[in-house]
A and B are shown apart, each in its own frame.
Chain A
Amino acid sequence: MNAKSLVFIASFAIFFLAFRVLENDLSQILVGALAVLVILWICVRTFLSTLAIAPDSGIKIANQRWLQFGILSILGLALFSLQRFFLNHSLNPTMDLGLKGIWFSCLVVGLVGTLFLDHLIQSSPLRLPRLFVRKSVNGALLLSLGFLLLFPTNYIVDRFNIRQDFSFFKTASPGGSTIKVAQKAQSPFVIYIFASPSSEVGVELRDYFEDLKKKAPLRILNVDQLAEPSLSQKLKIRDNGYVVISTEAIEAKDKPTIEDKLSKRAIRPQKIRIGTHIDDKREKEKLRNFDASVRKAMIALERGRLNIYLTAGHGELSWKGKAKPFKNISVFKKGLETYNYRLKTIDSSKGLSEKIPKSARVLFVLGPDLGLSKNEFETIKAYLNEGGSLLLAVEPRALREAKTFDEGRVDYSDALLKWLGLELEEGILLSKKGMQPVTRSAQDRMHFVTKQFSQHPSLSTLNSDRTQNYGLFLSTASTLRILNNEKRKITAVVKSPSSSWMELNRNLEKDAEESQRSRPVGVAIEGEKWRAFVVSDASAFSDFAMQNTGNQQFSLDIVNWLSRLEKQSGIISSQEDKPFIPTKEGQSLWFYGSILGFPFFILCVGIFTTRRRIRTKREEK
């Protein structure tokens, strides 16, 4: 590119930059006018120099074409100025866009043309075949018009964009728990599916309920909201994309009776909103978890909502505030809600030291850091003796004692454990097998998965479906010692792996005095009227541990057992994505295999192929 073309193009750039960068109107006009003067001066100079060249020569024609392209760019500049200074905001949007397109096209074609011809003249300054000039002009036009064509075509394609989602999607199928609820229902369920006949969401919903109908008595009614205005009005549905779950008993009555109103059961049909567009991300998510929504609605109609009280005020696990993943139980709470349980907190000010509310189906004591007071211990005892249920999850003594000591309080958690017929052993359980990489250090020996479950109604799902290969993730567990107590039926239902040992000296290594064997970590206790379940690792219920499906199923199983609803326990069917937990053993194999193994295999193939080729060539010679 020679100096002339460089200055020519730079002047255009300065002209446009002046209007974007400079804020003062006067400076914009001054810089812009200066740039225009330079452009015009270059064109006039080229015109004059063209006059001096011999007629019909290639050089003269190239200069003439350069001048023509230059004038085209000036025309683009003039149209830009016209739009900017004289027609500003006075054109309708289509005209405005059209004018923008014209000046932009003039500029692109003009400047690309000048660049091409400048390059041509520079390549052969003395003698230039006419053919080259023609080719250069054609090339410039082809390229600039090709470039310009990119914009309208991409614009049109963008306007009429078609999107197809191929990511994972599957509507949840009826889970074991939903099937049990539907099978044991006092009155068969009636399902209204509000969807247009052509709706894809409707197809998914119908498939789900047809599956359920094969295993439990159901009546399914497909309704188009527009075609059935009176029914829609009766069920208070204003749009398609809803599922309404009712029972034959509700359908048979015009109005709920007083008995219905007094019962805990829902007295009106339950609505589930899904939506009508299957491509919508939220609606896909609802379909993936549809089974949980159906079960919740059915349980609401069947037995109503049950209250669970969680003790507070002792540093327990909680769903409130911004607790750490090891102390938060939001996932557990969400899981309980799908079984229509309501989680409430209770502390000393709300009656924990006096009386647990009668509505408490289960009482949770999840990992109290500070220990229980004597009054609280007595209240819990009284609650159990009246037929209550308790889920007690304790942290190992090594993690608890320091905090209790600091507070200067006496910890009655041990007294409660003893009353239940248990004792917490000293130390923390460690295992090298089934270890989970959490900190990537020796501390990970505290984080392991156990699959040692015994046959007991409290673990009905974990025991009934061994194909799922559930495991319980424990992060800081201790051992529960079972004391002799004839009044209680105590069963160790969850044990640590046989490779585990009780770490006593905190060196995180297995020493001679630390024996390896399976030890109780989850114990079910049945008294005369009451039930209790004790876990020696409170964090097994935390959000962090709940990433493991086994922990989710375990926690719901024991809550259903404590509520005496173990017959409703079953697999939760969900097509929701689950976290992928990398394991140290599996991952190291995969790590080296993918980084070294397969690339090495490719290299071997390369060596084999090239050597065979060389050998063949030699033989041919």
Chain B
Amino acid sequence: MKNLILITQRELQSYFNSMSGYIVVAIVLGISGLLFNTMALGENPKLSYDILAGTGPRHFGFFWVMFGTTTIASVFLTMRLISEERQSGTLVLMHSSGVKDWQIVLGKWGSALVFISFLLLCSTYIPALIFINGKVALSHIAVGYLGLFLAASMSSAIGVFSSSFTKSQVISALTSGVILAFFLLSWILARSVDAPFKEFFSYLSMFDRHFGRTFAKGQIQTRSIFYFFSMTTFFLLLAVRVMQTRRWK
């Protein structure tokens, strides 16, 4: 446990002791703010519910914007986590000092998640405008943020897994992107296949089924929480296994 906390702290320090972490937060907030103003608020009058929870095609709401920026940010934040250690050779040092693979994976993922949580916390000023002027509940905003946190947890786990099997950060980011694209677009796949694959791909749809129709609309559904939890666990388990198989060489 001590090793796990040490790894998490070390990673978090790398974000907050230099300007890089703040720059990432500022860029993500700037982009989110821009998209919120242009796409969610727009120029025409809209219902406050649509500004907050719209998931297209007519209304693109705040949570739609934040889901996109959060998942993309998590890909960029996690792409270097293990591949950089592998590239610089520090992974061998960590192994020789008695740190377990699962501790490395969990520590890295935990630090990314804490950083993304900080980012999400900083973005709470954006929906404040809708809360003050419109008819939306604070609990709705809180539920939406819970969904964003769970989505960030899953996308970070995917990022850590992608980072675990390559030295190249570019390949790591590309792999994360492809896996996330699969989970985001599987609803399109679900449309074009027959049962039982239809239900299968529909269930896998990260945004359409487990965020857009639930958390974004202020609803908590146990199946969506479990989906994010199980997917996060699976990808972290996969990352640990990949780390172990890499050690056989």
Q: Which residues of A contact B (CB under 8 A)?
A: 100, 116, 119-120, 123-124, 132, 135-136, 139, 142-143, 146-147, 150, 153-154, 157-158, 160-169, 437, 440, 547, 575-582, 587, 590-591, 594-596, 598-600, 602-603, 605-607, 609-610, 613
Contacts and interface: CB of A to CB of B under 8 A. Distances in A.
B219 A136 contact: no
B23 A603 contact: yes
B139 A580 contact: no
A160 B225 CA distance: 13
Nearest to A120: B248
A574 to B, nearest CB: 10
B48 A166 contact: no
Contact of B142 (A120, A142, A166, A600): A166
Contact of B45 (A123, A166, A582): A582
B245 interface: yes
Q: Which of A153, A162, A166, A578 has the most CB of B within 10 A?
A: A166
A168 B29 contact: no
20 contacts: A123-B249, A124-B248, A136-B245, A136-B248, A147-B234, A153-B230, A154-B203, A154-B223, A154-B227, A163-B219, A168-B135, A169-B137, A578-B135, A581-B45, A594-B37, A598-B122, A599-B27, A602-B29, A610-B17, A610-B22
Contacts of A603: 19, 22-23, 26
B55 to A, nearest CB: 13
Given A578-B48, A596-B30, A168 B43 contact: no
A607 B244 CA distance: 40
Given A146-B234, A168-B49, A600-B26, A606 B19 contact: yes
B117 to A, nearest CB: 15
A136 B136 CA distance: 53
Main secondary structure of the interface of B (DSSP, over half): helix
B39 interface: no
Contacts of B159: none
A599 B30 contact: yes
Contact of B47 (A120, A575, A579, A607): A579
Interface stretch (B74-82, B105-113, B124-132, B169-177): B124-132
B18 A610 contact: yes
Contacts of A135: 244
A166 B234 CA distance: 29
Contacts of A602: 22, 25-26, 29, 122
Contact of A157 (B43, B137, B223): B223
B237 A143 contact: yes
Interface residues of B, number: 62
Given A120-B248, A598-B33, A603-B23, A168 B47 contact: no
B137 A167 contact: yes
A590 B22 contact: no
A606 B136 contact: no
Interface string B85-115: 0000000000000000000000000000000
Contacts of A581: 45
Given A139-B245, A166-B140, A166-B143, A577 B37 contact: no
A387 B235 CA distance: 79
A119 B244 CA distance: 12
Interface string B158-188: 0000000000000000000000000000000
Which 7 A-B pairs have CB atoms at the shortest separation, nearest pair first? Answer: A606-B22, A167-B218, A594-B33, A579-B45, A166-B139, A599-B26, A599-B30
A167 B24 CA distance: 31
Given A136-B248, A143-B238, A575 B221 contact: no
Contact of A580 (B25, B45, B223, B249): B45
B139 A547 contact: no
Contacts of B222: 157, 160-163
B48 A577 contact: yes
A580 B129 CA distance: 10
B23 A154 contact: no
B223 A161 contact: yes
A326 to B, nearest CB: 13
Contacts of B219: 163-167
A522 B22 CA distance: 55
B19 A591 contact: no
A437 B33 CA distance: 20
Nearest to B37: A591
A602 B41 CA distance: 23
B26 A157 contact: no
A160 B223 CA distance: 8
Given A120-B248, A157-B226, A167 B49 contact: yes
Contacts of A163: 219-222
A268 B142 CA distance: 47
Given A440-B43, A578-B48, A166 B34 contact: no
Contact of B41 (A158, A587, A607): A587
A364 to B, nearest CB: 25
B36 interface: yes
A582 B41 contact: yes
Given A162-B221, A595-B37, A609 B16 contact: yes
Contacts of A147: 234
Nearest to B16: A609
A157 B226 CA distance: 7
Contacts of B220: 163-164, 166
A579 B134 CA distance: 8
A440 B43 CA distance: 8
Contacts of B130: 580
Nearest to A608: B22
Contact of A577 (B43, B135, B245): B135
Nearest to B133: A580
A120 to B, nearest CB: 6
Contacts of A437: 43
B230 A590 contact: no
Given A163-B221, A168-B49, A581-B45, A606 B21 contact: yes
B203 A580 contact: no
Contact of B36 (A142, A167, A594): A594
B64 to A, nearest CB: 15
Contacts of B18: 610
A587 B133 CA distance: 12
Contacts of B143: 166
Given A157-B227, A163-B219, A163-B222, 11 more contacts: A150-B234, A157-B222, A158-B223, A166-B219, A167-B53, A167-B140, A168-B135, A547-B45, A590-B37, A590-B129, A610-B19
B51 interface: yes
Contacts of A168: 49, 135-137, 140, 218
Contacts of A440: 43
B191 interface: no
B198 interface: no
A590 to B, nearest CB: 6
A140 to B, nearest CB: 8
Nearest to B249: A123
Contacts of B137: 166-169
A158 B226 CA distance: 9
Nearest to B126: A594
